[in-house]
Amino acid sequence: MIVKPRIRGFVCITAHPKGCEAKVRQEIEVAKAAKKSGGPKKVLVIGSSTGYGLSTRIASAFGHDAATLGVFYERPSIKGKPASAGWYNSVAFEKAAHEAGLYAKSINGDAFSDEIKAQTIETIKADLGQVDLVVYSLASPRRTDPKTGETYKSVLKPIGESFTNRSLDTDKDQVCEVTIEPAEGDDVEHTIKVMGGEDWELWMDALDQAGVLAPGAKSVAYSYIGPELTWPVYTNGTIGQAKKDVERAAAAITEKHDCAAYVAVNKAVVTQASSAIPVVPLYISILFKIMKAKGTHEDCIEQMVRLLNDRLYGDDLQLDEVGRIRVDDWEMEPDVQQAVADIWPGITSETLFTESDYAGYQENFLTLFGFSLPGVDYEEDVEVDLELPSSK
């Protein structure tokens, strides 16, 4: 079929298989250009199909020749409809890895479940023996606790009082004002259950108990802090409380297992997750213009190459005062943040395309789903029903 983008709010409900492959291969070239010895060799990526998880998998495989096992929950093609972008990304990654002679397998299912943990462990035992790096990069709106069967839903809300600020209506390309009502009832507790560190701990417990965690292994989970203007809805809101719990989990994992666990704070990038956060798309659009002009702009793959090469497997982790790895350092440089703050109050719908890189934001968003990639014929009839190479 001929696949075109169909956008509903902050989600594109179609994905292009050849476009997703082109995007994955772009990232592979970045990783190969920064190839380095001394990195991870057997890597488990939990949440490996999009965003930072996918880029970590690519950076591990093509920057360090690592064998990779990916876990994700994606939608294959059903009844002739396109699969999800994450499915096509994973098909393309496996195809490229196998062409390069690298081990790559994927497990599609609910990473929160005991069943998927057990299947992952059996695959590691059979194929890899042990893993020396575990990447935890899940973002989900809900989680069912495998022990109790109770399902929790995460929310993105401020705590204590409502929050009003400028935002972007990406459907209408307009700067607008958004108000978000505060968390109530069990909102904070439920968000911590979904987006906090409990499941990361359960994964590490299961891996260690099964004997598939290599001695001296490393593990990393991802977080974001961002500028003060987003703090009420993010860092100081419900999601921020969950991220604090991820930091608690990192310390607990390090203490309990022969494994150094870290939280890496990454920069703001366009992902399916970040596009859903009010205020953030406008901030990212302004930020991109400033960082591109300065020559310090990075996308997911550049961030993850730098995380692996310079920090996790480099000479200096450069931990902050609470022990986090900061690869948001270039974003948070005072001159960059001051430039954002100068533009923020005055930007309007009329100046959106001149005072920010909203055009770049839009293009980035489309590439997440395999659209707007150079060299891809979007008028071509393409096969949408693709199997994961490792499942054949």
The residues annotated with a catalytic role in the active site are 234
> 106, 127, 109: which is closest to 45 by C-alpha?
106
Beta-bridge partners for 11:
8
The closest alpha carbon to 332, from 285, 290, 302, belongs to 290
Q: Which residue matches tokens 């099964």?
A: 210
Phi, psi of 143 (to 5 degrees): -145, 135
Contacts of 117 (CB under 8 A, 6+ apart): 111, 202, 203, 206
Residue 295's region, left for phi above 0, alpha for psi from -120 to 50, else beta, is: left
Pairs from 251-257 (Cβ < 8 Å, separation ≥ 24): 251/323, 252/197, 252/201, 253/200, 253/201, 253/204, 253/219, 256/204, 256/205, 256/208, 257/204, 257/208, 257/213, 257/217
Do residues 363 and 372 lie in contact, with contact meaning Cβ atoms separated by under 8 Å? yes
Q: Which amino acid is at 285?
A: S
Crossing angle of helices 238-256 and 198-209, rounded to 10° = 20
Q: 268: which 2 tokens?
A: 């703001």
Burial of 115 (0-12, 13-18, 19+ CB in 10 A): exposed
Indicate the annotated binding residues: 47-52, 73-74, 110-111, 138-139, 224, 243, 269-271
Q: In Å, how far from its chain's centre is CA 334? A: 25
Annotated binding site for NAD(+): 47-52, 73-74, 110-111, 138-139, 243, 269-271
- Report the 10 Å Cβ neighbour count for 161: 9
Ramachandran angles phi, psi of 354, nearest 5°: -100, -35
Distance CA 49, CA 52 (A): 9
Q: In this structure, are residues 73 and 111 in contact, taking their beta carbons and an 8 Å threshold?
A: yes
Residue positions forming the annotated binding site for substrate: 224
How many Å apart are CA 110 and CA 90, to the nearest integer?
16
